[in-house]
Amino acid sequence: MPVIWALPSRLDARGGFTLLELLVVIAIMAALTAAFPLALNRFLPARRADAAARELLADIRLAQARSVTADRVVSIIPTANGYDVTVAETKGARRVSSRAWRTSTQLALRSLDDSRDLTSFRVFPDGSSTGGRFLIRDGARVRSVAVSELTSRVRIELGEPPASVTP
């Protein structure tokens, strides 16, 4: 007599995963997913400081171009956690743009020789500038954007600034 229905043998039943095995894998994945943001928070200040330095570098270059094309002095004025860009006019200064970062990201402006704090950075229509070093700090990460006085060459300095320099 042919068999139409039969119970699976013991070997056929072991072909898949048990419910317990699946629950253990899901628990491990949940633990790893919960730990990921904690590990990511360690790297965020470094990313924010690097991104802020690149934004500042781009805005300095934009200020240089704006100063030459408009034939006016353009100033970058640091605030506690960002900066304002202004253009000199006959009746004062007009704010062109403003950049605000998170409160944990701080900005300071110092002279290139680190002898004094500066209140503003100016770019002149002839291509020169007042020069200076912008210090960007977020947590323990510090980035420095240096601008030459004579040539207005802008560069991001890697590594920590000298120990005497603090924003």
Q: What is the pLDDT of residues 141-161, one digit of tens each?
A: 888 999 988 888 999 887 555
Task: Cite the DSSP H helix spans in the chain.
Answer: 10-13, 19-41, 44-70
8 A C-beta contact, residue 103 and residue 47: no
Q: Does the pLDDT value for residue 83 go beyond 90?
A: yes
Higher confidence at residue 2 or residue 25? 25
Q: Which of 143, 139, 142, 165 is nearest to 156 (CA)?
A: 143
The whole model's pTM is what?
Answer: 0.70
CA distance 38 to 119: 37
Angle at alpha carbon of residue 92, lines to 91 and 98, rounded to 5°:
135
**86 in Cβ contact with 96 (< 8 Å):** yes
Give the start-end residues of each E strand in 48-150: 74-79, 82-89, 92-100, 105-110, 121-123, 132-138, 141-147
Residue 156's φ and ψ, nearest 5 degrees, are -90, 125
End-to-end CA distance of the chain: give it in Å, rounded. 92
Q: What is the side-by-side order of every strand in the sheet holding 154-157?
A: 105-110, 132-138, 141-147, 154-157
pLDDT(124) > 90: yes
Question: What residue ranges define each of the domains in the chain, with the CATH number in brackets?
Answer: 45-157 (3.55.40.10)
pLDDT of residue 165: 46
pLDDT per position as a tens digit, 16-59: 788 888 999 999 998 888 777 766 666 677 788 888 899 999 99
- On the question of pLDDT at 79 being above 50, the answer is yes
Distant-in-sequence, close-in-space partners of 30: CB < 8 Å, separation ≥ 6: none
Q: Determine which of 3-7, 127-131, 162-166 has the lowest per-residue pLDDT on average.
A: 162-166
Cα–Cα distance, 151 to 164 (Å, whole number): 26
